Amino acid sequence: MEGSMRHGFYPVALRLAGRLCIIVGGGKVAERKLRGLIEAGADRIELISPDVTREIEACAAGGRLIWRNRPYAQGDLEEAWLLIAATDDHALNASLAEEADKLGILSNIADDYESGSFITPAVTRNGPLIMAVTTSGASPALAKALKKELDERYGNRYGEAAERLGELRKLILAGDDSSEAKEELLRLAAKEVLEAGIEDRTPEQWLKGLIARTKGRALS
């Protein structure tokens, strides 16, 4: 197996609910990262900055985050699970990256794509369907433009489909077919959605149709 050091990123989807996320900085970049955390379901957010945008201030007033209205102070990261450093102070961002590593905290450093343990992709969300694009730091603007194209092309079409497939999947997995038969049904359902779109029927009706299709094929 060959790795690539240059583009050495491992994409994951993190579960943030209940975990303390700290943003240091309160400018335009901090605001965008904050929006991303909220959309991802983060419910314990602290933002440390002596100065914030209006949107950040409104989010704090609405109880979406705790705003510490002061500069970063040593020790602020100790309880954190994840850090986003988005100040305009390069030396501070760099030292935050080091401190996070020492403490074992995930870190995103907005002004230096080589430090920090993760970078944030451009993201589009439609129900459970999340499409994320990264250029490994080569061109954030391209990541943003590609994300828009993906959203226009697939977002509306497959967001609801993913939701419905999720319900169908639960039904199939709860049944007592063999695991091979279940996998075949699940693959067939996803293929059907790609080829024909979703039809207006209950998961039970859908499953019936799929079973008929797999049986029909076995006989032919």
Ligand X SMILES: NC(=O)c1ccc[n+]([C@@H]2O[C@H](COP(=O)([O-])OP(=O)(O)OC[C@H]3O[C@@H](n4cnc5c(N)ncnc54)[C@H](O)[C@@H]3O)[C@@H](O)[C@H]2O)c1
By the rule CB under 6 A, 106 interacts with ligand PQ2: no
**Two tokens, residue 192:** 């059907």
| Binding partner at 119 among ligand PQ2, ligand X, none, C-beta below 5 to 8 Å by kind | ligand PQ2
By the rule CB under 6 A, 88 interacts with ligand X: yes
Binding flags for ligand X, 67-86, as an x/- string (CB under 6 A): ----xx-------------x
In the bound state, the residue with its beta carbon closest to ligand X is 27
Q: Considering only residues 131 through 160, tell me which ones interact with ligand PQ2, judged by CB under 6 A.
A: 134-141, 143-144, 147
- What is the three-class DSSP state of 170? helix
Place of tokens 């500069």: 71
Asked whether the CA dihedral 18, 132, 165, 174 is positive or negative, the reply is negative
Do 218 and 188 touch, CB atoms closer than 8 A? no
Q: How many residues bind ligand X (CB under 6 A)?
A: 22
Which ranges in the chain belong to alpha helices (H)? 28-39, 54-61, 90-103, 140-150, 156-174, 179-196, 203-219
Residue whose C-alpha is closest to residue 205's, from 163, 177, 168: 168
Report the residue from 20, 21, 23, 25 that binds ligand X according to the rule CB under 6 A. 25
By the rule CB under 6 A, 121 interacts with ligand PQ2: yes
Residue 117: other Cβ atoms inside 10 A: 15
Rounded least distance, CB 111 to ligand PQ2, Å: 5
By the rule CB under 6 A, 110 interacts with ligand X: yes
Q: Which residues are near ligand X by CB under 6 A?
A: 24-30, 48-52, 71-72, 86-89, 92, 110-111, 140
